[in-house]
Structure 1
Amino acid sequence: MADQPEGEKTVLDASLEVFRAHGMTTIFGNPGSNELPFLAGLGDDFRFILGLHEQVVVGMAEGYARATGRPALVNLHAASGSGNGMGALTNAHYGHVPLVVLAGQQVRRTVGQETMLANVDASTLPAPLVKYSHEPLSATDVPRTLSQAAFEAATEPSGPVYVSVPLDDWDEPALADDELLAKRSVTTAGTMPDSLRGELTDVLDGAQNPALVLGPQVDAAAVADPTVYEDAVVLAERLNASVYVAPSPTRCPFPTTHPNFEGVLVPGIRSVRDRLSGHDVVLVMGAATFRYHRWEPANYLEPGTEVIQITQDPREATRAPFGRAVVADVAGALADLAEATTDRGTRRGDRGSRTVTAPARSEQGMAGTEVLDVLNEHVDDSVVYVNETTTLDLDYLERIVIDRPGMYHFPASGGLGFGLPVAVGMALGDPEKTVVATVGDGSANYGLTALYTAAQLGTKTIFVIVNNSGYGALSGFAERMGVPDTPGLTLGTIDFVSLAQGYGVPASRTTTREEFDAAYREALQADGPVLIDAVVLGA
C-alpha cells in the first residue's frame, strides 16, 4: 500500500491545527535551542507564558488546567529541562491534571550519536509520571501523535502526557489526511448498568450507618457541571450519611459548612480505620482507597465495615488493598445514586459533630491557624485558594468555608514548589478570580521565580508565606517518629519581602494577627500580585 500523500502544509502547520482544535493556544514554557523552530512558527493566536524554571513552568500549567478544566500545553527542553520539571510533574500525575508536555529533541539523525542536548531514550524519561509518552518514529507521525496525546491527557483518568519531537521534524511536509485530526472527538461512556446501580442502591439503603468519602474527581467534575456538587449533597442527605474528604485532599468535593460534613480523614491507616469505625457501609466516590501518608501499622478496617469504591481511574481501582471497586463515571454515578436511594427523612443540625476551637493567643506571635481564620473572615465568591502549607493542611478545610466547586487546591503528591506557580496559572486561567496562595516558607523557595511571571503579567494573586522559619511538617513527623534532633529542619530568616520586591511584586511582613488582617484587606483591593510574609509561631 502506498504512503498517504503529502499535503501543502508542514508538520508544524498541521500540529498547530491540532492544538487549536483542543483549545490549547496558551503555552507555558522555558525554551532551549531544540524548541526554537517550534516556537518561531507559532501563529498570532498563540500566547507564550515564560517561566524562569521548568518546575515553575509545569506548576503554572497545572494551575491553568485546574482553572480551565482543559489540557494545558507545556513546552520544555530535552533531558535537562524535562528533568527539571519532573518534581512538579508528580503533582499533576497524582492530581489527574491534564497536561501535554511537548519536549524538544536534537536533529533526528544525530540522536543516536548522543550529541549535545540529545535525549537518546526520550519516552522513558518521564515514566512513571505520565500516562502516555512517545517520540514519533517519523516526522509525518508527529501531528497524529500530538492528537493522541491531547485525547490521552483529557480522557479519564486524565493526567499528564509527554511527547518528544526532533527539531527538524517541524519543517517536513505533513500528510494530507492530517486535516482529519482537528475534526476528531473521543467520548467515554462510563455509565453503570441498571443491574449494578440497583445492587449498590440496595446496599446503601440497607446500611445502618453509611458514610461517604469523597475525592478530587468529584470536585473536578463539578467545575464543569455544578450539579455534581448538588448531587453529592442530595445523596448525603437522603442517606443521612456522614461525609468525609478522602485523605491527602487535593480539592474540596463537598461544602465544608454542610451539617453532614465531618472533615478530612487523617492520612494514616489507623487514623482512617478509627474514624470509619461504626460505619457499616462506606462509599468512596472519586478517590483512591486510600492515599495514606503517615505510617500507622494497623488493620485497614474494623470488622463489619464494607467499602465500595467508585472511581474513574482503573489504576486506583486495581491497586486498592481492600474493598469492592467500580470503574465508572463519577458524576453519572452520583446522579444515579442520588435519585435511586431511599430518602430516610432525617436532616442534621449545624455543621455536623465538629467543633472548631479558636487558636490560643500568644504574646510571642501569631499562630498559623490565625492566618486561616483571617482568610475565612473575607471569604467571597471571587476568591479561590491554593494551599501549600503542610503544617495546616488538616486545619484548612476545618477553618475556611469552602462551598463551591474549584475553590480549593492542594498538591497531590507532596512535590514542593506547587503553590506559587499553580496560583499564577490559575489566575491566568480565570482572571475574574482572586487566587490566594498560602505557602510555607520552606516550599516557597522551590517556586519563587513564579513571582517574576506574576509581576510581568499582573496576575491577581495574593501570596501568603506562612513563615515558621523551618520545615514545620517535617518537624512534626520527626517528633512522631521519635527523632526530634534531625538536622536541616530549621531555615532561619529569609527576607521574602526583598525577594518579592526584586521580582517586582509589592510585599510586606506581618508578625501579629492584626497586622496580617490589615495587610490582607489591602491585598484584596490590589489590581495585581501582592506578597505577605506572615511570621507565625514555629511548629
Structure 2
Amino acid sequence: MTTVNDAAWELLRHHGMTTVFGNPGSNELPFLAGMPEDFRYVLGLHEGAVLGMADGFAQATGRPAFVNLHAASGSGNAMGALTNAWYAHTPLVITAGQQVRSTVGQEVMLSNVDATVLPRPLVKHAAEPTCAQDVVRTLSQAVHTATLDPAGPVYVSVPYDDWAAPVGTDTAHLLDRRVVAGGAVAEAEIARMAGLLDAAEAPVLVLGPDVDSARANDDAVVLAERLGADVWVAPSASRCPFPTVHPAFRGVLPASVTGITERLTGHDVVLVIGAPVFRYHQYDPGEYLPAGTRLLHVSCDPGEAARAPMGDAVVTPIGPAVAALAEAVTERGRPARWDTAEGADEASVPDAGARAAGGRLVAADVLATIDALAPRDAVYVNEATSTVGDFWANIRMRRPGSYYFPASGGLGFGMPAAVGVQLADPQRRVIAVIGDGSANYGVTALWSAAQYRIPVVFVILNNGTYGALRGFATKLDALNAPGLDVAGIDFVALAEGYGVPGRRAATLEELRAALTDALAADTPTLIEVTTEALARM
C-alpha cells in the first residue's frame, strides 16, 4: 500500500525539493519518520531561524524551498521571518503538523485552531486538506502556487494521522503535471514604454529586487547603457539588481517621499522595474514626483501595480521584459560602458590606525576593509541596519545574487539567511554583516552553521545599541524612550557556545588578520568588531 507519506516525499523529490528546513514537534514526527535517505534535513533551533534559512536558500537558488514547522506555536514563532519572505517574493512551501483530524474541533493540546487563518496575510495561499486523500494534491497546489509570479510563501496544515492513510487513485497524475505561466512579455506595452524612453531627454532607471531574482542584471546594464541613463536602486533595497561599480550607478533611493523626489529631480521619465512604487518608511510627505516627470512601472506583481499611487504600470515577467526593453530602446551617443577588466576597480584600504573618537572603529572603515579582502564574487547578507548607507558606499557588488537584506525590515533574517544562501551557493563565499541588536534575533543559526559545517563568515558590528532605532529616536525627538541600548553581550562567547570559532577585532589590523583566516577556513567563523555608536541613516 502506498501511503500519503510515501506519495508526499515522491512529489517533493519530483520538484527537486530534497532539502527540508525544520524544527520538529510531536505532530511532525509521523511525517519525518518516513523521510527518504536522499533527502537532507537542516535543523534550526528556533522556527524564526528555520524560516530565515529557507528564505535565503530559496532566494539564492531561485527555486521553492520546503519548510516543516510545529503546529500553531512553531508557525507563530516563524511569523516575523515570514514577513520578510512575503515581501521578498520568496517561493516557500511551509507545512505545519496538525493534531489528529478527529480531535481538532475539541481544541486538544497542540491543535492548530483555524490553521488557514493563522499565517494570513503573509502567504499567497493557506490550506488544510479536507481529507487524507487530498493531502498530496494540496501539496502539489502549494508548490505551483509558490512558484508562479509573483512567487511567495504558501502554508499547508496536515493532521498527523493523514500520513499513514492510503493515497487516492489519482495521485499518480500529480507527478506528471507542469504548470507554466502563459504571461509572455506584453509586447505592445514594452514598445510603448520604449518609445517614451526614447523621447525622454533625461530618463532614469529605478531597479528593484525582482530584477536580481530574475537574474536580469546584465540586461539592465545593457538597458542603462543604451539609454545613457542614471540607475538608482529602489528604496529599502533587499537585493542588488545592478553592479555598484558601474559608472551609471547612483546608489539607493531613500525611503521617503521628499527624499525620492529630490533625487529624481531633473529627470522627465522614471522607469521602475521589479519594485513597488515606492516602499516608503520615514513619514516625510511632499509631492510624489517632480513637476513634469512621468513614471513607468514594470512589475511581476499585480498587487504592487494596482496599489501604486502614480504612474503607468504593466504586469509582466521581469526577465523577458528587461531584455525586451534593452533591445527596443534606441542607443544614444557614447553611453557609459562598464569596464569589467580584472583590477579595474581596485579598493582603497583604510589606514590601519583609523579609529573613532571613542576608540572604537568607524563602520565605514570596517566595511571598506571587508571589501578589500573579500573575493570579487563574494555574497553579502546584511543586517546591520544603522550602517546601510556605509555598506552601499563601501561594498562593491558586481554579480547577480550578491546581496540579501530583510525585505520587510524585520530583524532575525541575517544570520539564518546567510546559512541558507551559503547552502544554496557553495561555490561563492558568504559574508554576513550583522548588527549586535539584529544578531540576537537569529543567533541560534550559529548552531546550524556549526553542525552542517557551513562556512559563513559572520561579522558582528557591536556598537552596544540599536543604532537604527537610536537614529529614528533622534529624528522623532524620542531619545528618552527606554530600551535603546543592548550593551554587555559577548558574541565571541556565544559563538563558541554554539560551536563556531570566534575572534574579537578592536583594530583594523586585527580585523584583517581575523578575516583572512576566516576566508581561508572551510567552517563558519564569527568576528566581533567594536564600532562607534553613531547611527548613520
Contiguous gaps of at least 5 residues in structure 2: 340-347
What amino acid is aligned across from residue 107 of structure 2 in structure 1? E
What amino acid is aligned across from residue 238 of structure 2 in structure 1? T
How far residue 187 of structure 1 moved from its aligned partner, in angstroms, is 1.1
1:139 lines up with 2:132 in the alignment: yes
How far residue 350 of structure 1 moved from its aligned partner, in angstroms, is 8.3
Is the contact between residue 266 and residue 394 of structure 1 (CA under 8 Å) also seen in structure 2?
no
Counterparts of 1:18 and 1:150 in 2: how far apart (Å)?
10
Q: Which residue of 2 aligns with 1:335?
A: 323
Counterparts of 1:233 and 1:59 in 2: how far apart (Å)?
30
Is the contact between residue 100 and residue 153 of structure 1 (CA under 8 Å) also seen in structure 2?
yes
1:69 lines up with 2:57 in the alignment: no
Counterparts of 2:387 and 2:86 in 1: how far apart (Å)?
23
Q: Which residue of 1 aligns with 2:345?
A: none
After superposition, give the CA deviation of every residue in 1:455-499 in whole Å (9 maximum; x if it has no partner).
111111001001110100000001111222221111112011111
Is the contact between residue 312 and residue 330 of structure 1 (CA under 8 Å) also seen in structure 2?
yes
Q: How does 1:360-375 map to 2 (within 5 A)?
A: 361-362=355-356, 364-375=359-370
Counterparts of 2:111 and 2:515 in 1: how far apart (Å)?
48
| Closer/same/farther in 2, CA of residues 84 and 342 from structure 1, 3 Å limit | same
Q: Which residue of 2 aligns with 1:400?
A: 395
Counterpart pick for 1:379 among 374, 380, 404: 374
Counterparts of 1:456 and 1:515 in 2: how far apart (Å)?
27
Q: How does 1:492-507 map to 2 (within 5 A)?
A: 492-507=487-502
Contiguous gaps of at least 5 residues in structure 1: 1-7, 223-227
Q: Which residue of 2 aligns with 1:49?
A: 42
Q: How does 1:348-363 map to 2 (within 5 A)?
A: 348=336, 361-362=355-356
Q: Tell me, what secondary structure is at the counterpart of 1:498?
A: helix
How far residue 397 of structure 1 moved from its aligned partner, in angstroms, is 2.2
C-alpha RMSD of the superposition: 1.6
What amino acid is aligned across from residue 178 of structure 2 in structure 1? S
Q: How does 1:106-255 map to 2 (within 5 A)?
A: 106-222=99-215, 228-255=216-243
What amino acid is aligned across from residue 202 of structure 1 in structure 2? G
Counterparts of 1:169 and 1:282 in 2: how far apart (Å)?
53
1:299 lines up with 2:258 in the alignment: no
**For structure 1, which segment, 237-246 or 177-186, has the greater mean C-alpha deviation from structure 2 after superposition?**
177-186
Counterparts of 2:493 and 2:193 in 1: how far apart (Å)?
57
Q: Which residue of 2 aligns with 1:449?
A: 444
| Closer/same/farther in 2, CA of residues 103 and 350 from structure 1, 3 Å limit | closer
Counterparts of 1:189 and 1:378 in 2: how far apart (Å)?
45
Counterparts of 2:150 and 2:191 in 1: how far apart (Å)?
25
Q: Which residue of 2 aligns with 1:288?
A: 276
Is the contact between residue 21 and residue 183 of structure 1 (CA under 8 Å) also seen in structure 2?
no
How far residue 194 of structure 1 moved from its aligned partner, in angstroms, is 3.3
How far residue 199 of structure 1 moved from its aligned partner, in angstroms, is 1.2
Q: Which residue of 2 aligns with 1:36?
A: 29
Is the contact between residue 317 and residue 325 of structure 1 (CA under 8 Å) also seen in structure 2?
yes
Counterparts of 1:483 and 1:345 in 2: how far apart (Å)?
51
After superposition, give the CA deviation of every residue in 1:68-111 in whole Å (9 maximum; x if it has no partner).
21111000011111000111111101011111110000000100
1:318 lines up with 2:312 in the alignment: no
Is the contact between residue 238 and residue 404 of structure 2 (CA under 8 Å) also seen in structure 1?
yes
| Closer/same/farther in 2, CA of residues 173 and 349 from structure 1, 3 Å limit | closer
Counterparts of 2:525 and 2:374 in 1: how far apart (Å)?
18
Counterpart pick for 2:516 among 521, 524, 529: 521
| Closer/same/farther in 2, CA of residues 349 and 198 from structure 1, 3 Å limit | closer
How far residue 119 of structure 1 moved from its aligned partner, in angstroms, is 1.2
1:257 lines up with 2:250 in the alignment: no
After superposition, give the CA deviation of every residue in 1:17-76 in whole Å (9 maximum; x if it has no partner).
111111111101100010010000111111111111100100111111122211110000
Is the contact between residue 255 and residue 280 of structure 2 (CA under 8 Å) also seen in structure 1?
yes
Counterparts of 2:439 and 2:118 in 1: how far apart (Å)?
26
Counterparts of 1:122 and 1:497 in 2: how far apart (Å)?
40
How far residue 189 of structure 1 moved from its aligned partner, in angstroms, is 2.9
Counterparts of 1:398 and 1:433 in 2: how far apart (Å)?
22
**For structure 1, which segment, 118-127 or 171-180, has the greater mean C-alpha deviation from structure 2 after superposition?**
171-180
The alignment of Structure 1 onto Structure 2 pairs a total of residues equal to: 523
1:510 lines up with 2:505 in the alignment: yes
Counterparts of 2:57 and 2:349 in 1: how far apart (Å)?
35
Q: Tell me, what secondary structure is at the counterpart of 1:182?
A: helix
Is the contact between residue 433 and residue 460 of structure 1 (CA under 8 Å) also seen in structure 2?
no
Is the contact between residue 44 and residue 50 of structure 2 (CA under 8 Å) also seen in structure 1?
yes
**For structure 1, which segment, 240-249 or 179-188, has the greater mean C-alpha deviation from structure 2 after superposition?**
179-188
Is the contact between residue 379 and residue 401 of structure 1 (CA under 8 Å) also seen in structure 2?
no
After superposition, give the CA deviation of every residue in 1:168-226 in whole Å (9 maximum; x if it has no partner).
0011111122111111111113223432222111101000100000011110111xxxx
| Superposition TM-score, scaled by structure 2 size | 0.95
Counterparts of 1:39 and 1:523 in 2: how far apart (Å)?
35
Is the contact between residue 31 and residue 77 of structure 1 (CA under 8 Å) also seen in structure 2?
yes
After superposition, give the CA deviation of every residue in 1:128-166 in whole Å (9 maximum; x if it has no partner).
111110001111111010001011111110011100000
Is the contact between residue 225 and residue 337 of structure 2 (CA under 8 Å) also seen in structure 1?
no
Q: Which residue of 2 aligns with 1:533?
A: 528
Q: Which residue of 2 aligns with 1:100?
A: 93
Q: How does 1:11-26 map to 2 (within 5 A)?
A: 11-26=4-19
Q: Tell me, what secondary structure is at the counterpart of 1:310?
A: strand
Identity %: 55
Q: Which residue of 1 aligns with 2:343?
A: none
Counterparts of 2:187 and 2:356 in 1: how far apart (Å)?
59
After superposition, give the CA deviation of every residue in 1:326-368 in whole Å (9 maximum; x if it has no partner).
10011111111111111012323889xxxx9979743522111
Is the contact between residue 377 and residue 399 of structure 2 (CA under 8 Å) also seen in structure 1?
no
| Superposition TM-score, scaled by structure 1 size | 0.95
Is the contact between residue 420 and residue 448 of structure 1 (CA under 8 Å) also seen in structure 2?
yes
